[in-house]
A and B are shown apart, each in its own frame.
Chain A
Amino acid sequence: MKAAIITFPGSNCDRDLAVAFEKAGAQVVRVWHKDTELPQGTDVVGVPGGFSFGDYLRCGAIAAQSPIARAVRDFAHKGGYVLGICNGFQILTETGLLPGALLRNVGLTYVCKTVELRVETTDSAFTSGYGRGQVIRIPIAHHDGNYNIDEDGLKLLRDQDRIAFTYVDNPNGSVADIAGVLSENRRVLGMMPHPERMCEPVHGGTDGSVLFRSLIGMMALG
C-alpha cells in the first residue's frame, strides 16, 4: 500500500501523518506541492494539517489551486482514497472534493485540546474499525473548524450517511456538531481532529491508529 503525503509551504503535520501511515503498514512517499503528478501506484493521498500558504485569503484556498491539487482531484475522481486532516480538510472543501466550508470558530479562539468524537458511520474504509456510536478521544487544534453547510447539503449528508464523526461537546460551532464528512463514494474523508496525534501510547491514547489500520487493511482487500 502506497501513501502519498503532500507538503505545502506551511504544512506542519505532514511528518506526523507520514509516521501514522507507516506504523499502519503503508509505504510512504512524500510529495511536494509543486509536483504535478502523484507517484506511480499511489493508493491513498494524505493532505496534512498546518497553515498552508499562511492561511492567506481563506484557509486552504491557495493550496487548492496548487499543481498537486489538480492531481489529487483527478485521483479522487478516479476513485482514489484521500484523507484530509485539519488544514487538509479545509483544502479538500476548497477543491470541491467535499461539500461545505470551514469558518472561524464561533468562540473566535484557537482551540487546542483533546475532545470526544462520536463515530457516526462505520460504512467507510476509514471508520470500519470502530463501532457505530463509539466515542473516541482525538485532539483538535484549529481556529477555523466551524463546519458550515446549507440545509439541503446537510440533508444530503444525513440521507447518504456521510457524516463520519461528530463532536460530543461542540467546540467550534459546527453545524450539527460535524467533525468529519465523507465524499459520495465514501473514499474521501475530511476531518478537523487529528487522528495522527493519537496513534501511540506516548500520545496519550491510540484511538486514532484504528483509522489508519482499518484504511490500510480495507485497501489491501481491494
Chain B
Amino acid sequence: MTARIKARVHVMLKDGVLDPQGEAVRHALGTLGFSGVQSVRQGKVIELELDADGPDQARDEVKAMCEKLLANTVIEKYDIEIL
C-alpha cells in the first residue's frame, strides 16, 4: 500500500572537517556577547515528500538519495528522520 511519507535529512560536515561558516557564526555570536559559545557547526536540512510502501522503504530510498546526491560522503555525514 503506497503512502505519502515525509522525510527530513540533516546533512553536516563530518567531525574533523573545518567548517569556515560555522566558525564565522561562532565569532559573530562572541561579538554579540554570547561569550560561552565554544563551537558552531552549520549544516543543511532537506525535507522531502515521497510515495513509498511504508516507512522502511521510504528510509531505504532516502538513504540511496543521500549516497547519490544529497550528501557528499567524502566530507559530509547525514541523518534521516521519517516523520
Flag the segment in B31-39, B49-57, B68-76 that touches A.
B68-76
Which residue of A is nearest B71, CB measured? A58
Flag the segment in A36-44, A100-108, A195-203, A206-214 that touches B.
A100-108
Asked if B20 and A57 make an inter-chain contact with CB atoms under 8 angstroms apart, the answer reads no
0/1 interface trace, chain B 32-66, chain A, CB 8 Å (1 if under): 00000000000000000000000000000000000
In the complex, number of A-B residue pairs with CB atoms less than 8 Å apart:
35
Given contacts A101-B74, A101-B75, A148-B75, contact A106 B69 (CB under 8 A): no
B3 interface residue, CB < 8 Å from A? Answer: no
Chain A nearest CB, measured from B44 CB (Å): 8
Complex formed: what's the CA distance from A58 to B68 in Å?
A: 13
Which residue of B is nearest A65, CB measured? B69
0/1 interface trace, chain A 70-107, chain B, CB 8 Å (1 if under): 00000000000000000000000110000111011111
Asked if B18 and A94 make an inter-chain contact with CB atoms under 8 angstroms apart, the answer reads no
Residues of chain B within 8 A (CB-CB) of A101 are: 72, 74-75
Complex formed: what's the CA distance from A99 to B21 in Å?
A: 23
Chain A nearest CB, measured from B45 CB (Å): 13
Q: Report whether over half of chain A's contact residues are helix, strand or loop; otherwise say mixed.
A: loop
Residues of chain A within 8 A (CB-CB) of B24 are: 108
A61 interface residue, CB < 8 Å from B? Answer: yes
Which residue of A is nearest B73, CB measured? A101
Residues of chain A within 8 A (CB-CB) of B20 are: 103-108, 146, 173
Number of B residues with CB within 8 Å of any CB on chain A:
12
Residues of chain A within 8 A (CB-CB) of B1 are: none
List 6 A-B pairs, Cβ < 8 Å.
Answer: A58-B72, A101-B75, A103-B18, A106-B20, A107-B20, A148-B75
- In order of increasing CB-CB distance, the 10 nearest A-B pairs are A101-B75, A101-B74, A104-B20, A106-B20, A108-B24, A108-B20, A101-B72, A148-B75, A58-B72, A104-B21
**What is the interface residue range for chain A against chain B?**
10 to 19
Asked if B69 and A57 make an inter-chain contact with CB atoms under 8 angstroms apart, the answer reads yes
Which residue of B is nearest A172, CB measured? B20
Asked if A61 and B69 make an inter-chain contact with CB atoms under 8 angstroms apart, the answer reads yes
Which residue of A is nearest B14, CB measured? A150
Residues of chain A within 8 A (CB-CB) of B83 are: none
Contacts A57-B70, A106-B18, A108-B21 supplied; 9 other A-B pairs, CB < 8 Å: A65-B68, A99-B74, A101-B75, A103-B17, A103-B20, A104-B21, A107-B20, A148-B18, A148-B75
Which residue of B is nearest A153, CB measured? B74
Given contacts A108-B20, A148-B17, contact A61 B74 (CB under 8 A): no
Residues of chain A within 8 A (CB-CB) of B17 are: 103, 148
Complex formed: what's the CA distance from A107 to B69 in Å?
A: 27
Complex formed: what's the CA distance from A173 to B19 in Å?
A: 11
